[in-house]
Amino acid sequence: MKLQHSLDALFGNGVSKYLPKNVEITFSRKTGRIRTVSDGKKLLCTLRIDGGLAISPYFAQILLKSKIFKENCVEVNKDAAPFVSEGKSVFCKHVIWCGKNVRISSDTPILFNNKVIAVGKAVLSSEMISDFKRGVAIKVRDSLKSHEGEINS
């Protein structure tokens, strides 16, 4: 399945085994490509034109069961967590841990206390984030605040 291969290629070998069993895939009527992947009513991810995946915080939390997937994540300190969960960008000085697979423009889950609080696009790579003390590290695309109703249910 294309989705499993994409997950393994983007986030590390073996990550796709944490994909829920009963996923619903929506295809584009115009192009015939995969548009969205959902688990019941909850959106897991959308496929980008460039072949990448835009994953939701809910899906990132599921994939976090994989130790390999954690290398694609960034962990923030307690000062930044409330702002990041509201959708604000992550700055280098607030990053306390950074996985070695974080690359420029890759989809990066943001963690606080081993829980996914947001998902964003990396502006810097993992080496740069650990070296720099100022500037934006990750631009948040999707956060817990925008899914509050989904997570509490």
87 located within any domain: yes
Answer whether residue 152 shows pLDDT above 50.
no
Please tell me the total count of domains within the chain.
1
For residue 118, the model assigns a pLDDT of: 92
For residue 49, being part of any structural domain is answered with yes
Which pLDDT does position 148 carry in this prediction? Answer: 55
Residue 99 clears pLDDT 60, i.e. is over it: yes
Alpha-carbon distances, residue 41 vs 37, 38, 55, 108, 153 (angstroms): 10, 7, 15, 23, 11
Residue 107: count other Cβ atoms within 10 Å of its Cβ.
23
Reply yes or no on whether the pLDDT at 149 is more than 50.
Answer: no
**Residue 124 confidence (pLDDT) above 90:** yes
Return the CATH number at 118.
2.30.130.10
User: What mean pLDDT is predicted for residues 2-28?
Assistant: 87
Average pLDDT (21-40) is: 88
Residue 57 lies in a domain: yes
Q: How far apart are CA 55 and CA 43, in angstroms?
A: 8
Domain assignment of residue 63, given as a range: 2-145
Overall size of the chain counted in residues: 153
In a domain? residue 153: no
Average pLDDT, the chain: 87
Please provide the DSSP assignment of 73-112 as one string.
Answer: -EEE-TTTHHHHHTTPPEEGGGEEEE-TT--TT-EEEEEE
* Domain presence at residue 152: no
